[in-house]
Amino acid sequence: MKTPKIFEKEYHFLEILWDCEPVNSTDLVRLCREKLSWSKATTYTVIRRLSERGAVKNENALVTSLISREEVQASEIDELVEKRFRGSLPAFINTFARHEKLSETDIEELEKMISDYRKGK
């Protein structure tokens, strides 16, 4: 299944959900009011929209995610790389590295990720 498009405000909602799921919809309304300053109606609208797109499930007032944080992040990175860098991951990384100072720890982690990838991990 393709990860549905998640918009910025929806992502903030999902961060709350991922941190405390499964969660009763009443508690979720309270959390969204506290953390996002949303009304009850806004929270239920977002739950409904994300349910329609297959991102969350609201069953018997218990809300759970159907997609993970990692799936959403990967989908957004894929979209960004495709849209802005013509699908070239090296072009994306090159641009990022030129504009962000990479620490030695960052470089070591990237080298380890590449090495692990080559080994099939």
- The predicted-structure confidence for 51-62, as pLDDT tens digits, reads as follows 999 999 999 999
16 and 50 housed in the same domain: yes
Q: Return the structure tokens found at 4.
A: 């549905």
14 and 64 housed in the same domain: yes
Phi/psi at 62 (5° precision): -110, 120
Q: pLDDT at residue 118 above 90?
A: yes
Q: Which residue segment(s) compose the domain that 58 sits in? A: 8-69
58 and 105 housed in the same domain: no
Q: Return the structure tokens found at 54.
A: 């297959």
- b/e burial code for range 1-33 (CB count within 10 A of at least 16 → b): eebbebeeebebbbebbeeeeebebeebbebbe
Q: pLDDT at residue 121 above 80?
A: no
12 and 53 housed in the same domain: yes
62 and 96 housed in the same domain: no
pTM of the model: 0.81
57 and 27 housed in the same domain: yes
Task: Look at the chain and report how many structural domains it folds into.
Answer: 2
Q: What was the pLDDT predicted at 100?
A: 86
Cis before 90 (ω within 30)? no
CA–CA gap between residue 10 and residue 15 (Å, rounded): 9
